[in-house]
Amino acid sequence: DAGVTQSPTHLIKTRGQQVTLRCSPKSGHDTVSWYQQALGQGPQFIFQYYEEEERQRGNFPDRFSGHQFPNYSSELNVNALLLGDSALYLCASSLANRGSGGELFFGEGSRLTVL
């Protein structure tokens, strides 16, 4: 059973460019959340997708957008990259049904470097 998978694992972009990161949730999970982890910090919530809609959003600008597909996989897009966007981007998957308990699994992350 594959866990949460993310791609690419590493990428380098320059300021002003755009980036797309991808995530496939754990089998059976229907909810995908994205987090940004700057060096030396805990992860910060960006947004969550369920039923192909953004269900909740953290304190991130509109340059950060996302999408969820019918197979529950998700993309995170960041436009007009800034140096401060350099971070590890983590995807987490879970089940929306409360009766499923609290399991919330993370992928290995995509490390973005903006030059």
Partner 1 sequence: GEDVEQSLFLSVREGDSSVINCTYTDSSSTYLYWYKQEPGAGLQLLTYIFSNMDMKQDQRLTVLLNKKDKHLSLRIADTQTGDSAIYFCAEIYQAGTALIFGKGTTLSVSS
Residues at the interface with partner 1 (CB under 8 A): 4, 6, 31, 33, 35, 40-45, 48, 50, 55-56, 58, 88, 90, 92, 94, 96, 98, 100-109, 111
Give the β-pairing of 87-94 and 19-24: unpaired
Looking at beta carbons only, is 17 or 62 nearer to partner 1? 62
Provide, rounded to whole angstroms, the least separation between the CB of residue 41 and partner 1.
6
Using alpha carbons, select from 62, 77, 30, 21 the residue that is nearest to residue 49: 30
Looking at beta carbons only, is 17 or 113 nearer to partner 1? 113
Provide, rounded to whole angstroms, the least separation between the CB of residue 114 and partner 1.
18
Looking at beta carbons only, is 80 or 96 nearer to partner 1? 96
Dihedral angle sign, alpha carbons of residues 81, 35, 88, 107: negative
Looking at beta carbons only, is 18 or 104 nearer to partner 1? 104
Token readout for 12 is 């380098």
DSSP 72: S
| Residues 46, 64 contacting (CB under 8 angstroms) | yes
